[in-house]
Amino acid sequence: MTDDELPEELSERPFTAPDPMTQGYFQAPRPPEYRYAVMYTGEYETLWDGTAVAVRAHTRALSQAGVPVLLRSFTGTVVDENGAARPAHSVKVSSQVEREIGPLELTTAEHYFPIIKHLVVRDADHLKRVVIPQGAIESDFDKLVKMRQWIYDSTIVYTVWERDRVDPAIAKGLSRVAECWVPSHANRDMLRRSGVPEEKIFVVPHPYDPQDPILKLQRRPADTGWRKFYSIGRWEPRKGYVELIRAFLSAFSPHDQVVLTIKYTGGKWPGYPTPDEVIERCSENHDGGWTRDKIRERVRLIEGRYPRAAILELHFRNNIYVSSSHGEAWNLPAFEACLAGNQVVYVPSGGVDDFVGNGHVAVTPDGDEPVPSSYGWESDARWVSFTTHQLADALRKAQGFSSHDLSVTKGIDLRAYSLEAVGRLMRTRVLEVAAKRSDAALYYVDRCKASTP
pTM listed for this prediction: 0.89
Phi, psi torsion values for 260, nearest 5 degrees:
-125, 125
CA distance 70 to 54: 16
Same domain, 395 and 282: yes
Mean pLDDT across 373-402: 95
Same domain, 117 and 201: yes
Helix, strand or coil, per DSSP, at residue 338: helix
Could you tell me if residue 14 is inside a domain?
no
Could you tell me if residue 174 is inside a domain?
yes
Q: What is the pLDDT of residue 22?
A: 43
Q: What is the pLDDT of residues 78-129, one digit of tens each?
A: 887 777 788 887 787 888 899 999 999 999 999 999 999 999 999 999 999 9
State the CB neighbour count (10 A cutoff) for residue 154: 20
25 pLDDT band, cuts 50/70/90, is very low
351: domain CATH number? Answer: 3.40.50.2000
Would you call 185 exposed, middle or buried from its count of C-beta atoms within 10 A (0-12, 13-18, 19+)? middle
% of the chain at pLDDT higher than 70: 87
Alpha carbon of residue 104 to chain centroid: 19
Same domain, 287 and 331: yes
Is the pLDDT at 15 greater than 50? The verdict is no
Same domain, 339 and 192: no
Same domain, 375 and 231: yes
Same domain, 167 and 310: no
Same domain, 290 and 437: no
The DSSP secondary-structure symbol of 220 reads: S
Same domain, 217 and 339: yes
CA distance 387 to 244: 10
Same domain, 440 and 386: no
Same domain, 267 and 325: yes
Same domain, 332 and 430: no
How many domains are contained in the chain? 2
8 pLDDT band, cuts 50/70/90, is very low
CA distance 75 to 43: 7
Domain that holds residue 304: 213-416
Q: What is the pLDDT of residue 14?
A: 37
Q: What is the pLDDT of residue 390?
A: 98
6 pLDDT band, cuts 50/70/90, is very low
CA distance 126 to 128: 5
Same domain, 349 and 409: yes
Answer for the pair 157, 433: CB distance below 8 angstroms, yes or no: no
